[in-house]
Amino acid sequence: MAVLERLRPDHAPALLAFERQNRGYFAASIPDRGDDFFTGFDARHAELLAEQAAGLLHFHVLVDGDGAVLGRVNLVDVAGGSAELGYRIAEHAAGRGLATSGVGEVCALALEQYGLTVLRAETTVDNAGSRAVLARTGFVETGAITLVGKPGLRFSRDLVDAGL
């Protein structure tokens, strides 16, 4: 069973391991983070925690009983009561409902703890799994876009009208 936790300094080693182990898997559907992400991980982790403390973003990890990171669910570009949702699940943990449960939990946190009223998300048209997660968690399609050179879709979720 995975538990959703707000990102903390002590998550750094497990989060880096998660990103390294799944780099190729993630790069198949989203842009690769690049080598600098991995070589500068500790400094970037500290920067993100400072931005989180300032309320500019909200990062979460899904961890197993041993503390290994199975996924992450993040809210970025927090402003004016809204934020952009992003998530990724480890290859070996995909297909078990972790993204759906993690996104659902973060939607509740967004309204109840972070004071957000609207969340946005984007995915490529060919990412059926991500589109399914968004549909199951109450997001509605709002338009077509080009995302990393591929056809994509925008989604939105009104947290207040969702009755969270």
Tens-digit pLDDT profile for residues 2-54 = 999 999 999 999 999 999 999 988 887 777 687 788 888 999 999 999 999 99
| Cα separations in angstroms, 34 against 145, 147, 151, 154 | 24, 18, 22, 25
Going from the C-alpha of 71 to that of each of 97, 123, 163, the distances in angstroms are 11, 17, 26
- And the tokens for 92? 């070996």
Which option is the CATH number for 3-158: 3.40.630.30, 3.20.20.150, 3.90.1170.20, 3.30.1220.10?
3.40.630.30
Q: Are 98 and 3 in contact (CB under 8 A)?
A: no
Q: What is the pLDDT of residues 95-148, one digit of tens each?
A: 999 999 999 999 999 999 999 999 999 998 988 999 999 999 999 999 999 987
Directed axis angle between helix 98-112 and helix 128-136, to 10°?
Answer: 50
